[in-house]
Amino acid sequence: MANTTTPTMARSFLQVAATEEVAPPLRAVQIEGLVVLKIIKHCKELSPSLVTGQLLGLDVGSVLEVTNCFPFPIREEDEEIEAEGANYQLEMMRCLREVNVDNNTVGWYQSMLFGCFQTVELIETFMNYQENIKRCVCIIYDPSRANQGVLALKALKLSDSFMDLYRSNNFTGEKLREKNLSWVDIFEEIPIKVSNSALISAFMTELEDDTPVTQCDYDRLQLSTSPYLERNVEFLIECMDDLSIEQQKFQYYYRNLSRQQAQQQAWLQKRRSENMSRKAAGEEPLPEEDPSNPVFKPIPEPSRLDSFLITNQIANYCNQINGYVTDLKDRLISYPGFWAELQPIIFDEGLA
C-alpha cells in the first residue's frame, strides 16, 4: 500500500476515495490545533462534571484527520433532554454543512477524571458509532492530569476482535480463550499528532515569548504530590473491591456448577441403575438425557466483560501512578540543584 510510502499530508481526497475499499488499519489520529484547544476549553471549563462532544473530520487512509468539533450540551438524566440532544446534534451538523465546514463524524471526545473511562457505557457508545462510521475514535481528555503540565489527550478505539466478540455478546471463558483475547486487547490507543496549518505555525512563532519558561513548566514542578497519588490509590482500592465482587460472582458460579454437576452425576447414576433394572425386565431403557430436568438447565456463566474492564482500569491507574512517580522522582532529584541555584538569587533579593 501506498500509505507507508507517501506522506499522509499530501494525499488528496480523491485519492483516498479511490483506495477506500482496502481500508488500511488506523495508524494515527491527526488533530488540528484548534480542535485541541476547543476540547481543552470545553473540558476544563466544566471540569468536575464530565462532558462530551462530537469530532468532525476526514478519514484519510491510515490517518484519521480531526478537523473540527463541537460540544454537546450537558446531558441530564432525562429522556426528553436526551432527545433534544440528538436534535441538537443533527441541527448542528446541518448548520455546519451549510457553512461548508467538515461535517463528517469521525468520533467523539469526552472528559474524564483520574482516568476512569473504561466503562460499559463507553463500549456501548463506541459500538453505536461503529455501526455508522467505519473508523471512529474517542478522544479522552483528563483535566486533572493536565494540571500537572501534561497534554492529557488520548485517542482510543476498540480492537476488532473485541468488537466481534461484543457483537455476539459472549464473554464466557471458553470463547475468550478461543479468541485469545485478554484484557489488554479491548482498547487500542492510537498515537495523536497535532497539526497546524503553516500560517498558524508561523503566527505562533511570531507570538512566542522570549522567556523560556511557560506556565506548563511551572505546573510540572509542582511538589504537592500526595493528593493525586491518594486519589489514584483510592480508586485502586475501589477497583479491588469491584474485582473481588466479580470474583465472588465466579466463586458462586463455580460452586453452583460443581453442585449441579454432582446432582447430574447422581441423577445419571440413578437413571443408569434404573435402566439396568428395566433392561433386566425387558423394558425400553429411558433416555440418559432429560432436558426438562432442572438439573440439566445450564447455569449462565457470569460475563467477564466487567472484570476485564476493571482490570483495564487498574492497569490504567497503575500506569498513571508509575508515570507520575517517575516524574516525581526526577523532580525531587533535580530539586536540590534548583535550590542551590535559586538560593543566592532569593537571598540577594531579600538583602536588597
At closest approach, how far in Å is the CB of 218 from other proteins?
24
Comparing CB distances to other proteins, the nearer of 250 and 267 is 250
Task: Give dist(CA 153, CA 150) in Å, integer.
Answer: 9
240 sits in which H/E element: helix 226-280
The three grid cell numbers given for residue 345, joined into one nine-digit string = 538569587
At closest approach, how far in Å is the CB of 47 from other proteins?
23
Alpha carbon distance, N-terminus to C-terminus of the chain: 68
Contacts of 65 (CB under 8 A, 6+ apart): 30, 32, 57, 58, 59, 106
Q: Taking CA 330 as the corner, what is the angle to CA 326 and CA 334, rounded to the nearest 5 degrees?
A: 170
Comparing CB distances to other proteins, the nearer of 188 and 242 is 242
Position 240: which residue type? Answer: M
Comparing CB distances to other proteins, the nearer of 222 and 251 is 251
- The closest of 308, 326, 304 to 316, measured between CA atoms, is 308
At closest approach, how far in Å is the CB of 326 from other proteins?
17
Question: From the CA atom positions of the chain, what is the Rg in Å?
Answer: 28
Comparing CB distances to other proteins, the nearer of 74 and 240 is 240
At closest approach, how far in Å is the CB of 243 from other proteins?
6
At closest approach, how far in Å is the CB of 221 from other proteins?
20
DSSP assignment of 22-34 = G-PPP-EEEEEHH
Task: Give dist(CA 137, CA 104) in Å, integer.
Answer: 13
Comparing CB distances to other proteins, the nearer of 241 and 283 is 241
Q: Taking CA 133 as the corner, what is the angle to CA 129 and CA 139, rounded to the nearest 5 degrees?
A: 60
At closest approach, how far in Å is the CB of 248 from other proteins?
8
Comparing CB distances to other proteins, the nearer of 150 and 229 is 229
Cβ pair 137, 217 in contact under 8 A: no
Comparing CB distances to other proteins, the nearer of 72 and 317 is 317
Binding region for other proteins (CB under 8 A): 226, 229-230, 233-234, 236-237, 240-241, 243-244, 247-248, 250-251, 254-255, 258-259
The three grid cell numbers given for residue 146, joined into one nine-digit string = 493536565
At closest approach, how far in Å is the CB of 46 from other proteins?
28
Phi, psi of 313 (to 5 degrees): -60, -40
